[in-house]
Each structure stands twice: as C-alpha cells, then as structure tokens.
Structure 1
Amino acid sequence: MNKFALAAVAVLMGAGMATAEPLLGTWRTAADDNGNSGLIKVDQCGAKLCGTLVKSYGPDGKEIKSDNIGRKIISETVNKGGGAYTGKVYSPDRGKTYKSKLQLNGATLKVSGCVLGICRDGGTWQKVK
C-alpha cells in the first residue's frame, strides 16, 4: 500500500472514531426570575462552544418577542470531560454575564454561574433537538 493510500485509510478511520459533541443542538432553558424561558442553539465557535437565543417564551409558554434574540447566551465554553463544561453564560433577566459551570446528563443540562462571588443556579435545561 502506498503512503497516500495509507494516509487516506488513517484519516477515514479517525473520522469514524471521532465522537460528536453532545452539547451541540437546541436546549430549552429553565424559567428565569420573570418566568420567561428560551431556546438556545449551541454550535461550535472555533475551538469553543457558544449558544445563541433563537426563541423566547413567556410564563404562559407562548412565544414572545425579545431584544435578546440572536444574542450569545453561552460563550467561551469548553468540554472538561465527564459531562462537565466551563465558560460564560449571560442572564437576560439580570443583564449579567456569569462564569459558568454546566453539567450534562443525557438530555438535561444543569446550569450555574458566578460573578464577583455571587453565584446563581440557572436551573436545568432540556435538550429539544
């Protein structure tokens, strides 16, 4: 087998063994202080992960307009292994960006964060797709 063929086989084997990033997809947030929730679409942003608000819902569960649509809610997020992630999360109801800790467990994501020593539980998000 020539060097080119051997290299092609190695690339194909490596691609097949690569695992998809489980945080990618769309997540429904827990209700915030105002009872609102949203859909966050998580994508690769270079070597890190980020999540953008794509829909907002009021306390009654009906879609509402929000100035935060298109805003990065999750940013600078990295997979630490074992379902743990760190990065930043923006909280629209408080207008603050927190240093985040995310814990993935199947189709649920436990979100928490701290800023200036003040920590907040962001609840549990549910994967929708």
Structure 2
Amino acid sequence: MIRTFILAAAMTLGASTAGFAAEPIVGDWKTASGETATIASCGGAYCITLKTGKHAGKRIGNMNGSGDSYTGEITDPANDKTYSGSASIQGTSLKMQGCVLKVLCKSQTWTRM
C-alpha cells in the first residue's frame, strides 16, 4: 500500500514538474506564410528551424529569454539576410519581429500548432 502511494506521488510530481520545464516558445508554429517552424532548446538558446516549405531544414534564428519575451537574431530565408529580432507570446500567438538598425522593422504573427 505504501509502495503504491509513493509511486503515485512520484509520478504526479514528475508530471507536474515536466510541465514547468519547457519555455512557452518551445514547440511547433505555423508561420505567416503557412510553413511550419520548430523552436527548440539548443545550447542555452532557442533555435528556430523551418520544417516545411521551400527552405525546410534551414535554421532561421536563435532567441534568448524566458516567459513571454525573447530577443536574438532572425534570418529571412529568401534572401539569407540576418536581422536583430524579438519575439513575444500572447496565448497561442507568437509575434516575431526583425529590425535593421532598430528603425526599419517587419513583424509577423505565428500560431501555435
């Protein structure tokens, strides 16, 4: 009986802490152009890789941060130019923004899959 209780408590604790381990940015996202991108933890940052479309398999960015605010670099896969970037999460939406000299900026909203 005690062994069953300890096992159940350990499984409950493991399940509850697993939910807190992943950052909100981690996962699969549908881009503004309809492609799928994966954001995963890599070497202390979060790497953004396209999964579908013309540039599938290409790493297009990396972000640092936590919670609902991230900063880093974003690469436009069409012209291979890299911009300073930021990302913010609200619910199931991820607003991605890339800027040149922090003045000329473009943004897209991605949706969690």
Q: The TM-score by the shorter chain falls in which range?
A: 0.7 to 0.9
Structure 1: gaps of 5 or more residues: 1-11, 32-36, 57-65
Alpha-carbon shift at residue 91 of structure 1 (Å): 1.0
Q: Does the Cα contact within 8 Å between 2:23 and 2:66 map onto a contact in 1?
A: no
How far is 1:125 from its partner?
A: 0.3
- The alpha-carbon deviation at position 43 of structure 1 amounts to 0.7
Question: For 1:41-61, what per-residue CA distance to the aligned partner results, in whole angstroms no more than 9, with x for missing partners?
Answer: 1111111100111101xxxxx
Q: 2:88 aligns with which of 61, 86, 103?
A: 103
Shift of 1:117: 4.7
The answer for the alignment partner of 2:6 in structure 1 is none
TM-score normalised over the length of structure 1: 0.66
Number of the residue aligned with 2:51: 54
Please name the residue that 2:17 is paired with. Answer: 16
Same amino acid, percent of matched pairs: 32
1:69 matched to which residue of 2? 56
- TM-score where L is the length of structure 2: 0.75
Divergent runs of 4+, >3 A: none
Q: Which has the higher helix share?
A: 2
Q: Could you tell me how far apart the structure 2 residues matched to 1:117 and 1:71 are?
A: 25
Partner of 1:30, secondary structure, is coil
Describe the SS at the equivalent of 2:95.
strand
Aligned to 2:65: 79
Instruction: Tell me how far apart the structure 1 counterparts of residues 71 and 48 of structure 2 sit (CA, whole Å).
Output: 13
The answer to whether the 8 A contact 2:26-2:38 is kept is yes
3-state SS of 2:17 partner: helix
The number of residues matched between the two structures is 100
Gaps of 5+ in 2: 1-12
